[in-house]
């Protein structure tokens, strides 16, 4: 499989080619075929490290960096040449919270932590010099900004004490231009006060759109370890509010292409897969002196991706080919797991902290099979040699 | 006489005598063997060298689980890079947990003694760690050390590198005050030399770089003082000595104290943000796996 993994320590990225079974922590296991540093231009430094990257028309990789600059690289080029790089004066001091690319309109949209969104056109391999900036309603800093996959121009966002809003930012047309005033389609309401009649704090960290059938359906993760499912037909409060862990959730991804399972990671070392369909109705039980027994439903935990001894927070989670999930984070390892069995398929030491992972292709199987064959032959040879040695044989039995 | 035969002796006193006789005999044999070997080796010193070269004892360190990050170069730059590129003298703020007892202040006193350019400020309940870190970085401090005391015992040390982190939490054990060290010397105000031993893995290097950036990079050699941070099996031993060259071959060491042992419990990015590494009890299960 061929993956591109961003490197925080150097501000660049690395292209990893490895076969299933690769493990750099074990000397007798296969080692990665190649690790090459890419995306070094224009100036790789931790201050301009890559935060998010996406594929564009399966040929370009668009990366947005910590200093809110955008770089585009050509993936078909062997050296992954820089196509275009732009720094925007207006965005100085802002940190991007997400990057969304619309290939049909040749435009990309960034959410910025200061509660703004920026739209940049990308025509004929060059990024526009000027970017269009819009203040998002609410006027508070945001931490999550997500594009609706089926309706271009519709976005959802939220942050600390900034509850979920769905807005329409531009009309679908030939030339994309931001609307003069952002149209708010939906504004969420906080959940009910808790059993002590205290307000439940809001701190959204990630948003994902589930599906669109006459209404928007989304899922949000919070810094207080909750997963909330919103349905715009269901009212302004979340349709479901689940407490899944006690630590802040920092990433939220769907497991595979169906929307009924999610993979979440927290700010320690957990990578867990939860079902959104099978709900344990009485999984959360606690007792309060005033309110009596409190019983809450919890989405079923389908398992944790623990193999390989992860020690740090995971920032990059990527499911590909519906069979694998790649994770990378602060402990500087890239790990690839089997989505279903949760067994570790590959583990590669990257030498740098990881923020995001891009999947390029997975078809290296022919080569890998050959290699395995060779190895088997070698092993058979060694076995034969060893069987001729009586002392060893005794030990083996 | 084999062990089965000894077990068959029913009289306890006789059985014990037989066992002790056997042991005595065994010891005698061992000593005579050693004596003989020593004699041979005295005549032929090469034999001794050969024996020592061949009999290397197996230790947990030598059987350490393979770690690809040992010896690998640090890629890119980290938060400490700034200090190494244009060294500015570190400026350290020391404080304690809220409601600290006498022991914490005593430990702060000890730390002030060996950390050059450090100041102590009494902890106020009103401010939390993140706020304190902000105040300190506004005042150009490079490190903030928070001593943790529990049940009148110093048990932890939070060290935050400012302004961008990372934050470390160490547990503190085996604290021995200078006064309790026999034959100890009296430390001077000179900037000590720093010895960092065995910080090999990528995580270990981060920890090593923290200590490196806490002491000024220009030791005053006339002081002949050395601070040692020795990592062995993930325990970091802190020692302080003064050396003297007695003649061309012999070096004398005088301990200055204090002694204590640190163990890394948690490493967080930024000022106590996401966890980069955290100690878990199950990490101790494999005795041959070391993280620093």
Q: Measured between alpha carbons, how far is A135 from A178 in angstroms, rounded to an integer?
A: 11
* In-domain check, residue B195: yes
Is there a contact between B202 and A351 if contact means CB atoms under 8 Å apart?
yes
Q: How far apart are CA A322 and CA B149, in angstroms?
A: 51
Shared-domain flag, residues B133 and B31: no
Is B97 found in the same domain as B38?
Answer: no
Q: Please state, for a pLDDT cut of 70, what percent of chain A lies above it.
A: 91
For residue A317, tell me if it sits in a domain.
Answer: no
Asked if residue B64 belongs to a domain, the reply is no
Q: Is the peptide bond before A295 cis (omega within 30 degrees of 0)?
A: no
Is there a domain that residue B61 lies in?
Answer: no
User: Domain with B222 in it: what CATH number?
Assistant: 3.40.50.10480
- Consecutive 10-residue runs of chain B (292 residues): their mean pLDDT? 87 95 96 95 92 92 92 85 86 95 95 94 94 95 96 95 92 95 93 94 94 92 95 96 92 93 95 94 92 92
Two tokens, residue A234: 């269901």
Does a structural domain hold residue A391?
Answer: yes
pLDDT at B13: 96
Q: What pLDDT sits at residue A159?
A: 94
Give domain status of residue B19, yes or no.
Answer: yes
What pLDDT is recorded for position A363? 61
Same domain, B15 and B133: no
Q: What domain count does chain B have?
A: 2
A-B contacts (CB, under 8 Å): 68
Shared domain check, B231 and B92: yes
The per-residue pLDDT for range A66-75, each reduced to its tens digit, is 988 999 999 8
b/e code B212-232 from CB counts within 10 Å (16+ = b): bbbbbeebeeeebbbbbbebe
| Residue A259 to residue A208: CA distance in whole angstroms | 10
The mean pLDDT value for A318-323 works out to: 89
More confident residue, A104 or A271: A271
* Residue-wise burial string across B9-25, b where 16 or more C-beta atoms lie within 10 A, e elsewhere: eeeeeeeeeeeeeeeee
Average pLDDT over residues A40-65: 87
Does B264 fall in a domain? yes
Nearest-Å Rg of the Cα atoms of chain A is 24
CA distance B94 to chain A (A): 27
At A35, list the tokens: 């690790």
Q: Are A154 and A166 in contact, with CB atoms under 8 Å apart?
A: yes
Orientation angle between helical segments B12-43 and B45-54, nearest 10 degrees: 120
Residues B178 and B241 in one domain: yes
Chain A residues lying within 8 Å of B77, measured CB to CB: 9-10, 45-46
Which secondary structure element, helix H or strand E, spans residue B168, and what is its range?
Answer: strand B167-176
pLDDT tens for A151-177 read: 888 999 999 999 999 999 888 776 777
Phi and psi of A138, rounded to 5°?
Answer: 115, -40
- Beta strands B225-232 and B193-197: pairing type? parallel
Average pLDDT over every residue of A48-63: 90
Task: Give the three-state DSSP class for B167.
Answer: strand
Which of A330, A335, A347, A349 should be substituted to probe chain B, the one whose Cβ sees the most B Cβ atoms within 10 Å?
A330
CA distance readout (Å), B32 to B22, B25, B35, B37, B284:
15, 11, 5, 9, 42
- Rounded to whole angstroms, the Cα distance separating A319 from A342 reads 12
The closest alpha carbon to A7, from A48, A59, A62, belongs to: A48
State whether B7 and B130 are in the same domain.
no
Cα separation, B3 vs B14, whole angstroms: 14
Place of tokens 């163990």: B263
- Domain membership of residue B248 (yes or no) is yes
CA distances from B228 to A100, A136, A147, B198 (A): 51, 55, 54, 11
pLDDT recorded at residue A251:
95
Among chain B, residues having any CB pair with chain A shorter than 8 Å are 66-69, 72, 74-78, 202, 269, 273-278, 291
Q: Tell whether B38 and B94 lie within a shared domain.
A: no
Domain count, chain A: 1
Q: Which domain holds residue A395?
A: 363-397
Is residue A249 domain-resident? no
Q: What pLDDT does A367 receive?
A: 44
H helices of chain A, in order, are 365-387, 390-396
Q: Which chain A residues have a beta carbon less than 8 Å from that of B277?
A: 311-312, 330-331
Rounded CA gap, A261 and A254, in Å?
A: 6
Cα(B79)–Cα(B216) distance, rounded to whole angstroms?
Answer: 17
CB atoms within 10 A of CB A23: 21
> What CA–CA distance (Å, rounded) separates B214 from B70?
23
Question: Does any domain span residue A73?
Answer: no
Query: Contacts of residue A250 in chain B, CB cutoff 8 Å?
Result: 274
Query: Minimum mean pLDDT among A104-108, A178-182, A335-339: which range?
Result: A178-182
Length in residues, chain A: 397
Claim to verify: residue B143 and residue B197 sit in the same structural domain: yes
Q: Residue A94: which residues within 8 A CB-CB, separation 6 or more?
A: A68, A112, A113, A114, A116
A379 in a domain, yes or no? yes
Please check whether residue B109 lies inside any domain of the structure: yes
Which two tokens mark B209? 């770089």
Residue A272: per-residue pLDDT: 95
- Residues B247 and B213: beta-carbon distance below 8 Å: no
User: Are B78 and A46 within 8 A, CB to CB?
Assistant: yes
Clarify whether residues B45 and B171 are in a common domain. no
Residue of chain A whose alpha carbon sits nearest to that of B280:
A311
Between A206 and A369, the more confident residue is A206
The answer to whether residue B290 sits within a structural domain is: no
Specify the pLDDT at position A395: 46
pLDDT confidence bin for A58, thresholds 50/70/90: confident
pLDDT computed for residue A163 by the predictor: 94
> Is there a single domain that holds both residue B154 and residue B25?
no
Q: How far apart are CA A120 and CA A85, in angstroms?
A: 12
Q: What share of chain B is helix, strand, coil (3-state, %, to 5)?
A: 35, 25, 40
The pLDDT score that the predictor gives to residue B1 is 67
Q: Are residues B87 and B47 in the same domain?
A: no
Beta-carbon count within 10 A of A131 CB: 20
The string of pLDDT tens digits covering residues B60-70 is: 989 999 999 99
Structure-token match 């061929």, residue found: A2
B196 neighbors B217 (Cβ within 8 angstroms): no
Both B95 and B46 in one domain: the answer is no
Residue range A188-228, pLDDT digits in tens: 999 999 888 999 999 999 999 997 778 899 999 999 999 99
Query: What's the confidence (pLDDT) of residue A360?
Result: 86
Of the partner residues A7, A46, A311, the one whose CB lies closest to the CB of residue B278: A311
From residue B48, give the alpha-carbon distance in Å to each of A257, B35, B51: 69, 13, 5
Confidence of residue A368 (pLDDT cuts 50, 70, 90): very low
Q: What is the pLDDT of residue A384?
A: 63
- The angle subtended at Cα A330 by Cα A328 and Cα A332, nearest 5°, is 65
pLDDT, tens digit (0-9, with 9 covering 90-100), for A262-278: 999 999 999 999 999 99
Task: Supply the range of the domain harboring residue B207.
Answer: 81-284
With CB atoms and an 8 Å threshold, state whether A25 touches B273.
Answer: no
**Structure-model confidence comparison of residues B2 and A378, the more confident one:** B2
Query: How many CB atoms within 10 Å of residue B179?
Result: 8
């Amino acid at each position: 499989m061929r993956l591109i993994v961003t490197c925080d320590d150097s501000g660049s990225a690395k292209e990893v080619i490895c076969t299933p079974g690769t493990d750099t922590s074990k000397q007798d296991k296969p080692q990665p075929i190649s690790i090459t540093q890419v995306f070094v231009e224009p100036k790789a430094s931790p201050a301009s490290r890559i935060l998010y990257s996406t594929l564009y028309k399966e040929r370009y990789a668009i990366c947005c960096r910590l200093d809110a600059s955008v770089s585009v690289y050509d993936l078909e080029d062997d050296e992954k040449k820089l196509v275009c790089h732009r720094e925007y004066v207006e965005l100085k001091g802002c940190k991007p919270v997400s990057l969304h690319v619309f290939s049909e309109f040749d435009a990309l949209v960034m959410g910025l932590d200061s509660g703004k969104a920026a739209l940049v056109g990308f025509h004929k391999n060059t990024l526009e010099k000027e970017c269009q900036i819009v203040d998002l309603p609410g006027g508070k800093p945001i931490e999550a900004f997500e594009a609706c996959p089926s309706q271009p121009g519709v976005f959802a966002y939220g942050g600390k004490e900034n509850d979920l809003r769905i807005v329409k930012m531009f009309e679908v047309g030939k030339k994309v231009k931001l609307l003069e005033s952002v149209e708010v389609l939906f504004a969420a309401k906080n959940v009910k006060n808790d059993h002590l009649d205290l307000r439940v704090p809001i701190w959204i960290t990630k948003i994902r759109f589930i599906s669109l059938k006459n209404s928007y359906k989304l899922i949000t993760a919070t810094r207080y370890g909750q997963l909330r499912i919103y349905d715009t037909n269901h009212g302004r409060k979340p349709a479901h509010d689940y407490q899944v862990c006690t630590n802040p959730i920092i990433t939220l991804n769907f497991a595979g292409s169906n929307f009924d399972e999610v993979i979440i990671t927290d700010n320690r070392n957990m990578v867990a897969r939860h079902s959104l369909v099978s709900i344990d109705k009485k999984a959360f039980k606690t007792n309060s002196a005033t309110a009596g027994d409190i019983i809450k439903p919890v989405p079923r935990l389908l398992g944790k991706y623990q193999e390989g001894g992860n020690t740090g927070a995971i920032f990059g989670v990527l499911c590909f080919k519906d069979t694998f999930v790649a994770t990378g984070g602060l402990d500087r390892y890239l790990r690839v797991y089997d989505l279903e069995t949760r067994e570790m398929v590959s583990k590669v030491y990257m030498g740098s902290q990881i923020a995001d992972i891009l999947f390029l292709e997975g078809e290296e199987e022919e080569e890998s099979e050959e290699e395995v064959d060779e190895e088997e032959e070698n092993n058979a040879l060694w076995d034969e040699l060893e069987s001729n040695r009586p002392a060893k044989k005794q030990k083996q039995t | 006489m084999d062990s089965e035969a000894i077990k068959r002796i029913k009289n306890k006193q006789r059985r014990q005598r037989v066992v002790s006789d056997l042991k005595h005999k065994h010891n005698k044999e061992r000593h005579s063997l050693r004596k003989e070997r020593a004699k041979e080796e005295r005549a032929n010193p090469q034999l001794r060298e050969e024996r020592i070269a061949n009999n290397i004892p197996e230790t947990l360190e030598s059987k350490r689980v393979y770690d690809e990050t040992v010896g690998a170069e640090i890629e890119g730059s980290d938060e400490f890079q700034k200090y190494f590129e244009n060294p500015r003298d570190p400026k350290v703020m020391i404080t304690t947990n809220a409601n600290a007892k006498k022991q914490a202040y005593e430990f702060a006193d000890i730390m002030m003694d060996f950390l050059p350019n450090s100041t102590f400020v009494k902890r106020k309940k009103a401010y939390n760690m993140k706020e304190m870190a902000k105040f300190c970085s506004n005042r150009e401090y490079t490190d903030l050390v928070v001593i943790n005391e529990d049940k009148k015992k110093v048990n932890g040390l939070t060290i935050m590198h400012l302004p961008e982190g990372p934050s470390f939490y160490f547990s503190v054990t085996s604290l021995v005050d200078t006064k309790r060290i026999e034959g100890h010397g009296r430390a001077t105000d000179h900037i000590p030399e720093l010895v960092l031993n065995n910080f090999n893995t990528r995580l270990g290097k981060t920890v090593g770089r923290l200590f490196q950036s806490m002491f000024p990079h220009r030791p005053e050699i006339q002081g002949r003082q050395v601070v040692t941070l020795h990592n062995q099996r993930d325990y970091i031993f802190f020692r302080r000595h003064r050396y003297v060259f007695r003649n061309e071959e012999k070096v004398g060491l005088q301990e200055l104290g204090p002694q204590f042992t640190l163990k890394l419990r948690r490493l967080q990015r930024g000022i106590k943000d996401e966890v980069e590494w955290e100690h878990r009890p199950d990490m101790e299960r494999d005795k041959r796996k070391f993280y620093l």
